[in-house]
Amino acid sequence: MTVRVRFAPSPTGMFHVGGARSALQNWIYAKQQGGVFVLRIEDTDAARNKPEWTEGILSALDWIGISRGSYEGPYFQSANAGEHRAAAARLYESGRAYYCDCTREDVQARTGSQYQGYDGYHRDRGLGPGPGNALRFRTPDEGTTVVVDLIRGEPTFENKLIEDFVIARGDGSPVFLLANVVDDMTMGITHVIRAEEHLPNTPKQQLLWEALGVKPPIWAHVPVVVNEKRQKLSKRRDKVALEAYRDEGYLAGAMRNYLMLLGWAPSGDREIVPWSVIEDEFRLDEVNLSSAFFDEKKLRAFNGEYIRALPVAEFIDACQPWLTGTGTIAPPPWQPEEFDADAFAAVAPLAQTRIAVLSEIVPNVDFLFLASPLIDEAAWTKTMKDGSAELLDDAVAAFEALESWDTESLKSTLEAVGAERGLKLGKTQAPVRVAVTGRTVGLPLFESLEVLGRERTLTRIRAARLRLV
């Protein structure tokens, strides 16, 4: 039997990081088993679906390494609507489903509770199809439904506790439960790997598989992804869009590595490992049962490690979208003609050790490409104290006299300026840094001054001195 797994997102918004994890788990499992990864776009929610969301899914998968052409599909659920309706008709004709015209208010009035499930009122009343009549599945009165799950063992559900659930609406359109089952049958899906939030629906889906005369797939419900408050990640509350992380400057390799650690870990005391190790070692039956905490701080740390591991030339290439404002990246504060590729290449190794996401490259190097620095007013107020004006005067005089404009000469010169005032180098260089770069933190100062050059450095220090008059 050829293993066939599927990833079935809905094109109703940005691509969720939890969905990205599920896609990767399915992808790896299919590769390990010599199977097939199927992409199905569940696009039946016409009111919320947008073509750009579908393209967003495809491009997000491309980014994390599941590239177009390497999987089967994409298929679109809407194209299978005829099969959905045919399956609903077969279930009705075989007696496994019946029509019901009860409203929610009707059920509440009979049961006396808004929390009570459907009471089976129309089970044997012989109501036929008609406008407003929903089709309900006839759940067995006795026995149990056993879900064979590669992660959770064999969860068992009593059939009498499963209400007769709706499989087609009053307008005849099948609901998600039925459409999902029919699509999986049509596509020959053998394993369904998805988040545990779908587990409560699984016995219903398994009953549908059996009623339609097809052996159910093997299930694997991975732990749900939660935030720091142990709440399920929500698009309304949490930062969950994969595209947002991509556009902020997270590397695909770091994101893949981190997502695969949500509920699973490679062998040994290690977390940052080559992708080939993850592909080789990942096992569904080793996935944890407890919820997986999506820790953005940890992800940032991961990403910083991946950035520092890049060859410098690759780091320079990776920064280009933020330096040029291409694609979905906002343009930098300088004009294209102001950018100096050689200057950036000179400071790139310094920047590479200091940023955690690629978007941070812009505030670290903008002083090199702007006519004047963008002054952080809070930094200015904090740094430019009594005596700063005189210190800047001395720095200008000392720098003007330098024969060699290099890092070591600049450092020793400013160190001497501070020593005459009884200041350590850290206190001495702070006003110079703000005058030249506009900030109190950033790249090493003296390497930066060497790249910026004598004329521009002195111009900026003089401008800051005039502001202190």
Q: List, for residues 96-116, the tens digit of each pLDDT value.
A: 999 999 988 888 888 766 667
Dihedral sign for Cα 383, 389, 394, 397, please: positive
Segments in 187-332 forming alpha helices (H): 202-211, 242-248, 252-260, 275-281, 296-309, 312-324
141 burial type by CB count under 10 A (0-12 exposed, 13-18 middle, 19+ buried): exposed
The per-residue pLDDT of the chain, averaged, comes to: 94
What pLDDT does 328 receive? 84
User: Global pTM?
Assistant: 0.91
What pLDDT does 119 receive? 86
Whether 130 shows a pLDDT value over 70: the answer reads yes
Question: What span, in angstroms and rounded, lies between the C-alpha atoms of 390 and 187?
Answer: 77
| Cβ contacts of 164 within 8 Å, gap of 6 or more | 98, 100, 118, 120, 123, 136, 137, 138, 139
Q: Which two tokens stand for residue 303?
A: 């990403």
- 418 to each of 394, 395, 429, how far by Cα in Å? 9, 9, 8
Residue 31 appears among annotated catalytic residues: no
CATH of region 372-467: 1.10.10.350
Q: For the segment 218-272, what is each residue's pLDDT rounded down to a tens digit?
A: 999 999 999 998 999 888 888 999 999 999 999 999 999 999 999 999 998 899 9
DSSP structure string for 103-128: -HHHHHHHHS-TT-----TTTTS---
Laid out side by side, the sheet with 36-41 consists of 72-76, 36-41, 4-7, 191-195, 218-222
Question: What span, in angstroms and rounded, lies between the C-alpha atoms of 273 and 305?
Answer: 11
State the average pLDDT over residues 24-30.
98
What pLDDT does 13 receive? 83
Segments in 78-232 forming alpha helices (H): 81-93, 104-111, 176-186, 202-211
Considering 50, 160, 235, 424, which one is annotated as catalytic? 235
Question: What span, in angstroms and rounded, lies between the C-alpha atoms of 25 and 307?
Answer: 24
Question: What span, in angstroms and rounded, lies between the C-alpha atoms of 21 and 259?
Answer: 5
